[in-house]
Homo-oligomer: A and B are copies of this chain.
Amino acid sequence: MTAHGGDRLCEAIDRAGSPACVGLDPVLDRLPGAVRGADAPGSLEAFCMGVLDAVHGAVGVVKPQSACFERYGSAGVAVLERVCARAKELGFFVILDAKRGDIGVTAEHYAAFAFDAMGADAVTVNPYMGFDTIEPFRRDGRAVFALVRTSNAGSDAVQSAPAGAGTVAEAVARGVASAGESSMGARAWSDLGAVVAATKPADAARMRELMPKQIFLVPGFGAQGGTVETVRELFTDGAGAVVNASRSVLYPEGVGADWAGGIASAAEAFAEQVGVAARG
């Protein structure tokens, strides 16, 4: 793996024809009856393997939610390993949503978790402990997405707090933009990206202004309220963002026995919508 992490993500998007990402957030009591059994981690594994096959072709990026697997301890983490490995075999760009953050050598351990143990292409990180704590996660060929502006209503209590001339999120955005300058790809995007929610459209243009070289990982499409209209502002000339949907793709309404077919259709519709948003 010698290419730049940002370039590799752009290529995965190009191959799929849409900057859409499907989040793998498996929750036992929402799984189709056909895969839901007494063995919870096994049920998650059967579901996720089916999802990977179902969305393959429609999207080029998947985002496993580490928490959904970790809740089952080592057995769940073993499933996450196999799901990530299968996603890589199928050619997906894998963003491990782990939101880790710690100092120095501890951050190096978390990077090893994401990139060596799980084999992910990218990982989400939390910047609260400082921009230096992001650096141990950065590696040639991989990408990192720092939390900047998140989709939950309560995030305003910290991220919208006034800080200097703007908000805390704006101060963090400036720090991420500055740190990201150290590794720019051929596509002119940094390998240090940012998580910027689709549910706060008023912030979107400001975030792009402050982080012109960050690829945005955009959660909140579909079930969390993000729409074509709210994500449109996050793209620059059709690029620079990857939009995630989880629940609206994983658990489409009105699907019977052919759950995988329902997910495939939902992924295709989602990828098409995001493609429209990207083209402005």
Q: How far is the CA of A65 from the CA of B159 in the complex (A)?
A: 27
A154 within 8 A of B: yes
Whether the Cβ atoms of B129 and A154 lie closer than 8 Å is: yes
Whether the Cβ atoms of B161 and A25 lie closer than 8 Å is: no
Whether the Cβ atoms of A81 and B71 lie closer than 8 Å is: no
User: Which of B67, B80, B102, B109 touches A106 (beta carbons < 8 Å)?
Assistant: B67
Please, how many residues of chain A have a CB less than 8 angstroms from a CB on the other chain? 59
Q: Which residues of B contact A159 (CB under 8 A)?
A: 128-130
Digit string of A102-142 for contact with B (CB within 8 Å is 1, else 0)? 11111101101100111000000011111111000000000
Interface centre among A72, A81, A102 (most CB of B within 10 A): A102
Whether the Cβ atoms of B175 and A153 lie closer than 8 Å is: no
A204 within 8 A of B: no
Q: How far is the CA of A243 from the CA of B153 in the complex (A)?
A: 34
Whether the Cβ atoms of A113 and B71 lie closer than 8 Å is: yes
Q: Which residues of B contact A71 (CB under 8 A)?
A: 109-110, 112-113, 116-117
A162 within 8 A of B: yes
Quick check: which of A86-94, A144-152, A207-215, A263-271 contacts chain B, the rest being far away? A144-152
A78 within 8 A of B: yes
Q: In the assembled complex, how far is the CB of residue A84 from the closest CB belonging to chain B, in whole angstroms?
A: 10
**13 residue pairs from A and B, CB less than 8 Å apart:** A65-B106, A65-B109, A67-B109, A67-B110, A71-B110, A73-B117, A74-B81, A99-B102, A127-B158, A130-B153, A130-B159, A132-B154, A161-B168
